[in-house]
Structure 1
Amino acid sequence: MPLFQPLDDRHRLMGRLALGLEYDGSAYCGWQRLKHASSVQAEVERALSKVADRPVKVHCSGRTDSGVHATRQIAHFDAPVGRTRKAWVFGANANLPRDIAVRWVTPVGDDFHARFKALARRYRYVILNQPSRPVLERANATWCRDPLDADAMHQAAQCLVGEHDFSSFRAAGCQSKTPWRHLHFVEVSRHGALVVVDIQANAFLHHMIRNIVGALVTVGRGEQGTDYLSRLLALGDRTRADVTAPGCGLHFVDSIYDERFALPREPLGPILLAFLGEWTGERELPHCPWVEFRKGSA
């Protein structure tokens, strides 16, 4: 997908549409609509409903927590009326607050479902590792004033790759029926003052990434050895694990689908990491039953 692609303003799109969303989650309780707090879902549905002049319900690829950001949240909705691609994108953005934007809209088949057809979800956790507190990036990265050993953090994280019971890293209020997840990869790297935890799995438990990062920072500070996460994983007990890292450093950067859906490709976010040059869907998925099942399911 070219970065500057003209939006068609002649052909009306109806039926099931997929859209790519970017948002700053600082002001929201998370993605999911709630009665008592502002949510990203409610804002997106309100904006699309204004464009359609009819109620619109949106389904997303993965719910994000309070304060968590997204640069490629995939969602879908069934358009009740025809509007051009330009009208859907520009119309929605004209009715969205400044911290949420629709990046693209594309038609998909009725068998597409943003959540149930996702093969993997990918996040990047950004830590600004410097003595002084951040100013311009204070809402997009977590500040750690203590020196971190990114190589030790990376080594400690490798025990998590594969299919495991992640009970030690799930929130107490997690509603998932099973603590088992398949972690495709987790990489920790340093880029100047930035320490980045890049992690992908078939799905994640509530607070799973933030709890993993909390433990990794303990390793990075030298307070625990590189076997720390392996020991926590074996315990299967969240009450004996580490702190939960803040939500502001977490970015939902990709949701991966079978190539037949032909969703637009774009550079992986957040913009802080644009220099890395990676685009969505460039990495091969592991050969595992979950991926094969999702690809073959009707």
Structure 2
Amino acid sequence: MPRYKLLIEYDGGPFVGWQRQRAGLSVQGVLEAAIGRFCQAEVTVLAAGRTDAGVHAAGQVVHVDLPRDYPADTVRDALNFHMKPHPVAVLAAEAVGDDFHARFSATGRAYLYRLLNRRAPAVLERGRAWWVATALDAGAMAEAARHLLGHHDFTTFRASECQAKSPVKTLDLLEVSRDGDLILIRAAARSFLHHQVRNMVGTLKLVGEGKWRPDDVRAALAARDRARGGPTAPPEGLYLTAVRY
């Protein structure tokens, strides 16, 4: 069966997350149903990462085995037609070898977290950024973020339901910048723990508010205790932006 690699984007707001579940609409379910209508076959789609409910993707990668060969552009256009009106789009499709795996072949993943930092509530950004009315010091947040770079035990930033075998990860990038009312936090690593990015963002927000000093983040990391970290940032500000192979 020919294998296809799909680059997709979606608005995570209406979904219970990427993964198909017993109840609720999932991105995986929408995509598999569209492929079923196109190919008249039951398929399973595997993704580079399982995004949570409310989390968006601009560069999610999946693979699927189809019953026969199709032109890549036909696959893209047919799936986009059959997924209407759900907010999911296939940006590109390509035929790949049987040894390609969306998850296990990946060598890196990148995320963007967006905070809307202004007194006025979110209107156009509602559901697409975390609105924080309290003034945040992006410079202090950037200084704190540097303490998290590198190879560490990230237990402090790991969700209790995380199924990873080890809490040790190598964080290659964690940058904080301001663009007008938006504070942008970019993170990149080979892989992440469950809620790691959102937990790091929630902790950096405490620094931005002045409740923590940048060095407090280093102490929290060293504690290897989730209770010593900041709150989990809400899902609507998080985007899976790219997967590297």
Indicate whether the TM-score tops 0.5.
Answer: yes
Which one of 53, 61, 79 corresponds to residue 40 of structure 2? 53
Aligned 8 A contact 1:187 1:197 in 2:
yes
Say if 2:135 is the partner of 1:152: no
Distance apart, 1:180 and its partner CA: 0.8
Distance apart, 1:147 and its partner CA: 0.9
Q: How many residues end up aligned between the 2 structures?
A: 244
Aligned 8 A contact 2:10 2:58 in 1:
yes
Structure 1 residue aligned with 2:93:
105
Unaligned runs of 5+ residues in structure 2 are none
Distance apart, 1:32 and its partner CA: 0.9
Q: Secondary structure at the match of 2:67?
A: strand
Say if 2:73 is the partner of 1:86: yes
Q: Which has the higher contact order (CA 8 A, sep 6+)?
A: 2
Distance 1:38 1:182 in 2: 33
Distance apart, 1:141 and its partner CA: 0.6
Structure 1 residue aligned with 2:192:
204
Q: TM-score, normalised by structure 2?
A: 0.97
Structure 1 residue aligned with 2:2:
15
Distance 2:70 2:196 in 1: 39
Say if 2:144 is the partner of 1:173: no
Say if 2:239 is the partner of 1:251: yes
Q: Secondary structure at the match of 1:55?
A: coil
Distance 2:87 2:65 in 1: 24
Distance 1:34 1:121 in 2: 24
Distance apart, 1:211 and its partner CA: 0.5
Point out the more displaced range, 42-51 or 84-93. Answer: 84-93
Distance 2:28 2:60 in 1: 11
Say if 2:50 is the partner of 1:63: yes
Distance 1:202 1:23 in 2: 22
Structure 2 residue aligned with 1:9:
none
Aligned 8 A contact 2:39 2:67 in 1:
yes
Runs of 4+ in structure 1 over 4 Å off: none
Q: Secondary structure at the match of 1:104?
A: strand
Q: Secondary structure at the match of 1:74?
A: strand
Structure 2 residue aligned with 1:291:
none
Q: Where do 1:118-267 residues align within 5 Å?
A: 118-257=106-245
Which one of 31, 35, 44 corresponds to residue 18 of structure 2? 31
Distance apart, 1:29 and its partner CA: 1.3
Letter in 2 for 1:52: C
Aligned 8 A contact 1:27 1:67 in 2:
yes
Letter in 2 for 1:149: D
Unaligned runs of 5+ residues in structure 1 are 1-13, 258-298
